[in-house]
Chains A and B, each alone.
Chain A
Amino acid sequence: MTRIAALVAKELAELRRSPSIFLPALLTGAAAIFYPFVIAIIVPYFAGERLSDSSDFELATQMFRSQPEARGLTPEGAIQAYIFEYALVLMVGLTTVTGSMAVAAHSVVGEKQARTLEPLLATPLTTFELLAAKVIGAALPGIALMVACFTIYVGAVALFAERGVWLMMLTPRSLALVFIMGPLAALLGLQLAVCASSRVNDPRSAQQLGALIIVLPIAALQIAQFIGGIVLTAGMIMGIAVVLCAGNAVLMSIAVRLFDRESILTRWK
């Protein structure tokens, strides 16, 4: 654990010197925070029409108000809570992954390109420790960014949405989404990126591959939720979290096997 902690501390120290790497993630976070407000607050305000006046949200209102926590909400508040809560999936997924993907994609191939990998491989560090440190080092800033975005999001909902809507962002379901499923999904994506980073010669390839693998399911989940194809319950989130845990363990094992020191040292130029 000491070796992993040492390497994670190094990753974070390097990132502190390159804050610009998080600019895309900050922009993504801002966009992810902003867009549900456009749907739930801004458009109705300028259109002079309440969401609850439209029959389009009838099903959402019914679905949402069936939850015990939502019973005290007005019809408008229920629709807002529906939109804000389901937008969480995208915000959690995108901010965590975009915040960390560049770091993860750069992790192994970047070290190789900077010629810092070989001295590291010459230490007692095992492949598992190296890859775990790379994944954790990439995930921590993304998770921190996601928590910051979530805090701003909840604050903004409290300020601009109907009374009580913000409390719906703090239900066990939402919190499990933010603090369990989000980080686990991010870890999975980052592991894929680190894995790709140890197999490709160019960080951009790893980044594109990792982003593609993780962003597509997140977007699909988001769309499925909005059209009512999937309703993520707390139980489903926990189930997905268990699957993600198992997936992370399997992926780490595969990543360790795929990490070919000889090839990295001798064939990569």
Chain B
Amino acid sequence: MRTSDGWPARLHVVTGKGGTGKTTVAAALALALAEGGRRSLLVEVEGRQGIAPLFDTGPLPYQELAVATRPGGGEVRALAVDPEEALLEYLDMFYKLGMAGKALKKFGAIDFATTIAPGMRDVLVTGKVKEATTRTENGRRVYDAVILDAPPTGRIGRFLNVTAETARLAKMGPIKTQSEGVAAFLRSPMTAVHVVTLLEEMPVQETADAIDELSALRISVGKVIVNAGQPALLPTGKVSQGELRRGLVAAGLPADRDTVAGLHAEASAYLTRRTVEEGLRAELVALDQPMVELPYLPGGVDLAGLDLLAAALNPPDHPDTLG
């Protein structure tokens, strides 16, 4: 079995408040964990098709397709889980239903299970993720790592706990067995939940809340991933219009009043932001979880940007040993 030193779990659930870039971070982690000839699977579960544009591909089907390769034979595959397909597949796999699946559809049962019955969708999706993570072929695991672009922090507890809840409701029978299996898997050392945050007030608050909630559910929290960190500039924390004017003149740039004042306003806003960020960083440190920081990419995230984030998640100067 090959696992990763810095990222010991096999299923990496990536959550975070909406807008923190959890899909981007999940994609970068999938690249990082495909280094050294390994194979990772990046899974999307909310029907948002957020992965495809990151890898410049068309909409992902309900199939595990290669979206990126790494030097040394590594490969990232991606899968968009569709609850309806997952249900039919599940029925077919466990009950050999064939035509009966169509009868279920006709009676609105598929509709019921995937949209009406709140929570059923999450049961199906987490079940599919467990299946992919534990799947073997010729005695070895198909994936070295599975990375789940999970629902946001506000729903992550409910999402991951839904199988435990279902197992409680179904006192016996196949649903209970299946749900208990998934619930136990999500609480095993095979699974870790990583929380992506920005150095902004609400994402940091939700990070703390999610860690509390997950701990109470006995689901293990992996890392806090601070996304889009600003570079540490202006270390003295002070800037005057006079020094800016002298600098602009020395650099041969326009040094008119508006430009100096504008540059000063921008630098001041940056410093205000940085002071807020430092306070928030201290709050995150106090959570006492391993923390990784990813740089802000002002030009947006393209494939080169993803590589950069992947390298920051799994620094090449400390390469994972294949164990």
**Real complex partners, A and B?**
no
> Which A residues are within 8 Å of any B CB, using their own CB?
none
> Which B residues are within 8 Å of any A CB, using their own CB?
none
